[in-house]
């Protein structure tokens, strides 16, 4: 397990490009028949990736659960949101099977002992991107297709940010302890996400970028509003955003990203907007 410790905004101002990438960027999420895990000490969020090809893969494969989590199984005191960003696949959670097509989602509640992943076709494997947050009570495991997501249109073509926010793991859709997740798709010709930039002191956020066309990139903006930095990201990479950091991006093409939040509350209006002209 890759463990990332918390960084503060004062030291962050002095980071080099290499240091920023090492602290916040998550690469190589999907490896054949393996589970990758990045444990962030920012709100103790964990990003997982799993790409089963020829095997059925368990969530805890290759992970020393007691050493890393101090529990008997990963979800003993955690909840998890799972998106499929690859070919068709199946998730089995404590014996119940869920079929996930491209962009479908599964929320798995705290207390689930066994989570298994399988692809329908080894030549076109499923790619399960997951984020887990600490939890204090069991909720209901629930499958959500892309059609089930609450659609919230945002932005405009004129400002190059015409997009649709798909709310999956969201207070308006289902109950969770603290985890919130969704998927934002930018329309052709739009490249900016999450403007105006903002922070939310009581929640951290993870962005997972995908559907970035080959030979294109996204410039992910982070840092304090008056001390911004950027990370150049490619498709199927994720980035950790502490509560003090803005989280916005601009691509050389349109793209899609999955956002995940966890922290003190789930109040989406609890954010501090920063005027575009005040950014530095």
Q: What pLDDT is recorded for position 266? A: 84
Does residue 268 surpass a pLDDT of 80? no
The per-residue pLDDT for range 179-189, each reduced to its tens digit, is 999 999 999 99
Q: What pLDDT is recorded for position 264? A: 87
Q: What pLDDT is recorded for position 151? A: 97
Token pair 């945002």 is found at 154
Query: Mean per-residue pLDDT for 33-47?
Result: 97
pTM of model > 0.95? yes
Whether the CB-CB separation of 75 and 112 falls below 8 Å is answered with: yes
The per-residue pLDDT for range 230-248, each reduced to its tens digit, is 999 999 999 999 999 999 9
Largest CA distance in the chain: 53
Listed residue (99, 42, 94) closest to 244, CA to CA = 42
Does residue 3 surpass a pLDDT of 80? yes
Share of the chain above pLDDT 90, in %: 95
Does residue 118 surpass a pLDDT of 80? yes
User: How confident is residue 124, by pLDDT bands cut at 50, 70 and 90?
Assistant: very high
User: How confident is residue 21, by pLDDT bands cut at 50, 70 and 90?
Assistant: very high
Q: What single string gives the DSSP state of each residue in 153-221?
A: EE--GGGT--EEEEEEESTTT---SS-EEEEEEEPTT--EES-S-EE-TTEEEEEEEE-PPTT--EEEE
User: How confident is residue 269, by pLDDT bands cut at 50, 70 and 90?
Assistant: confident
Query: Mean per-residue pLDDT for 62-91?
Result: 97
**Mean per-residue pLDDT over the chain, rounded:** 96
Share of the chain above pLDDT 70, in %: 100
Whether the CB-CB separation of 134 and 110 falls below 8 Å is answered with: no
Cα(54)–Cα(172) distance, integer angstroms: 38
Q: What pLDDT is recorded for position 265? A: 85
Does residue 116 surpass a pLDDT of 80? yes
User: In angstroms, how far is CA 74 from the centroid of its own chain?
Assistant: 18
Whether the CB-CB separation of 160 and 189 falls below 8 Å is answered with: yes
Query: Mean per-residue pLDDT for 245-253?
Result: 97
Sheet with 150-154: strands ordered across:
25-26, 237-241, 203-210, 256-263, 180-186, 163-169, 150-154
Residue 258 burial by CB count (10 A; 0-12/13-18/19+): exposed, middle or buried?
buried
Query: Mean per-residue pLDDT for 44-69?
Result: 97
CATH of 2-278, one of 1.10.150.570, 3.40.50.300, 3.40.50.920, 2.60.120.10: 2.60.120.10
Listed residue (276, 272, 208) closest to 244, CA to CA = 272
Whether the CB-CB separation of 196 and 274 falls below 8 Å is answered with: yes
């Amino acid at each position: 397990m890759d463990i990332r410790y918390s960084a503060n905004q004062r030291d962050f101002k002095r980071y080099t490009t290499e240091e920023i990438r090492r602290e916040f960027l998550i690469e190589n999420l999907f490896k054949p028949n393996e589970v990758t895990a990045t444990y962030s000490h920012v709100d103790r969020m964990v990003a997982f990736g799993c790409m089963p090809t020829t095997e059925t893969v368990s969530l805890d494969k290759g992970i020393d659960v007691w050493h890393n989590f101090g529990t008997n199984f990963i979800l003993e005191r955690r909840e998890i949101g799972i998106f499929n960003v690859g070919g068709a696949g199946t998730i089995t959670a404590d014996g119940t099977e869920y079929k996930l097509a491209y962009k479908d989602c599964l929320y798995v509640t705290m207390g689930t002992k066994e989570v298994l992943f399988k692809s329908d076709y080894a030549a076109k494997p499923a790619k399960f991107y997951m984020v887990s947050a600490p939890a204090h009570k069991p909720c209901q495991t629930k499958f959500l297709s892309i059609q089930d997501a609450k659609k919230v249109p945002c932005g405009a073509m004129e400002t190059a940010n015409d997009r649709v926010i798909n709310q999956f793991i969201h207070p308006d859709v289902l109950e969770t302890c603290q985890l919130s997740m969704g998927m934002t798709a930018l329309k052709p010709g739009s490249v900016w996400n999450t403007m105006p930039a903002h922070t939310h002191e009581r929640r951290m956020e993870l962005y997972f970028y995908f559907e970035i066309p080959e030979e294109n990139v996204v410039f992910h903006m982070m840092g304090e509003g008056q001390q911004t930095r950027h990370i150049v990201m490619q498709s199927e990479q994720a980035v950790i955003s502490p509560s003090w950091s803005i989280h916005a991006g601009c691509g050389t093409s349109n793209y899609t990203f999955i956002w995940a939040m966890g922290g003190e509350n789930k109040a989406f209006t609890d954010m501090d907007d920063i005027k575009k002209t005040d950014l530095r």
